Amino acid sequence: MATLKAKLTDSLLKNIDPEIRRISDTEVKGFHLRLGKPKPDGTRSGAYYLYYRIGGREGFERNYKIASLDEKNITPARARDDAKILQGRIKTGVDVFAEREAREKESAAQKKLADMAELEQAKQDSETVEYLLLEFTERYLKRERKRPESAISIFNNDVIPQIGKVPLSSVTSRLILNDCIDLIVDRGHKPHARKTLALIKQAFQFGVDRGLIEINPIANTSVTSNTGKEIARDRYLDDDELKQLFIDLPKVGISRQVQLVIELLCLTGCRVQELTLAEWSHIDFEKRMWYFPPENTKSRRGEEKPHYVPTNDEIIKRLKELSIQFDFLGSKYIFPSVTNRTGLPGTQPIDKRSVARAIKRHIRPDDVDEPKGRFINVAAFTPHDFRRTLQTHLSKMKVDTIVTEKLLNHELAGMMRVYNQHDYMEERREALELWANKIKELTA
């Protein structure tokens, strides 16, 4: 390697021989410039160094890099001044090379800690409420619930739009109550608020179990204090109301399809979802039996079982009307949707919520003396109230409670559930026949 001894100056560097790879400064001992091979464009890389020995003859040799040749504002004169300062410190026994190495290690360690903290913060920022709810949906709801759609709808409509982007580390009980639950309560939907709060509680406990969060922020939040006391419904339709209902239904503008859902809810005591998901293959007209598969009935996961409803003339009459009305669709569903947004008409059943909406929209309002339009002239009720109506009237007709419980697809209480395996099918048929005759008399 060709070397040169000379005072390092700007003018020297402009005219340096390409073969020269090292220039030792003649003014400051140990100060030198190391040069790389010339590049195609004629430029050369290089760096200023200070050679020194620490600890005498038995000590260490060091080459301390002062600066690169291409660093901004670096000149031979400035690099020489830095070398002089370093030499002064070396004379006092300071190993400037080791000192800088220790400083760089400390800086690297601090940067690593800062990077780790930044990554942890980024992780926390990415692990939002929406992230938790999506994992809860995929890992729990879709696996453990027969029909997770209701819970998913609550998340999509009442939770994610409000607090979905909030990092889990920033969630508090007050945030959940203020931004989610209070809004639902203020709309007058306390039952829905209770359901939403209970679902959020469950999702956050899932987050604790999965290690996403350390503490469930609403574990000790009272549902009653924040959504009001749940009041058990006792609404059922008496004889006069049933008569008025069947008189008004054809007059208020509800589609005939939804009218028939309402009438069959009354005649069978089934749940809305059980009817709206029903298929023609589930009905045996010859044996006069309506079968509801386990996946369409309400039951605990793992304890699913089918439900059977004996049919009669009043039920069959309405089913045949439906068959004629929607035969052109060729649908497998008894109540096919004719306005399906995700496919052709008839490929999906009607939305179960359309029944409740139709009833609510056409009930005569209590707070208006002369409302405009046509209304069902009975007090407000919901589709589910038909189940209470059926049980109440059958009890008045001296039908055994066990029979009505079977009709409603309720589990028997206590040990009866374990030991009484009789299906009471004939008794069910007789009870529904009595009920159909009563409805027929009331609406004649």
All structural domains of the chain: 2-94 (3.30.160.390), 129-210 (1.10.150), 239-443 (1.10.443.10)
Q: Is 1 in contact with 21 (CB distance < 8 Å)?
A: yes
In eight-state DSSP terms, residue 181 is: I
- Which residues are CB-neighbours of 339 under 8 A, at least 6 positions away? 345
Which of 364, 96, 84, 93 lies closest to 251, judged by CA? Answer: 364
pLDDT at 230: 66
Residue by residue, DSSP assigns 236-275 as ---HHHHHHHHHHGGGTT--HHHHHHHHHHHHH---HHHH
Give all strands of the β-sheet with 60-68 in edge-to-edge order.
2-5, 20-24, 31-35, 46-54, 60-68
pLDDT at 392: 95
SS3 20: strand
pLDDT at 30: 94
pLDDT at 209: 94
pLDDT at 443: 86
Which of 164, 234, 221, 171 lies closest to 193, judged by CA? Answer: 221
In eight-state DSSP terms, residue 363 is: B
C-alpha 23/C-alpha 12 separation (Å) is: 10
Kindly give the parts of the chain with pLDDT less than 50: none
pLDDT at 410: 85
pLDDT at 371: 61
Evaluate if pTM is beyond 0.75: no
- Which residues are CB-neighbours of 230 under 8 A, at least 6 positions away? 191, 194, 224
Q: Is 21 in contact with 31 (CB distance < 8 Å)?
A: no
Q: Which residue has the tokens 């008409």?
A: 345
- Which residues are CB-neighbours of 372 under 8 A, at least 6 positions away? none
Phi, psi of 252 (to 5 degrees): -95, -5
Report pLDDT digits (tens) over 262-294.
999 999 999 999 999 999 999 999 999 999 998
- Which residues are CB-neighbours of 410 under 8 A, at least 6 positions away? none
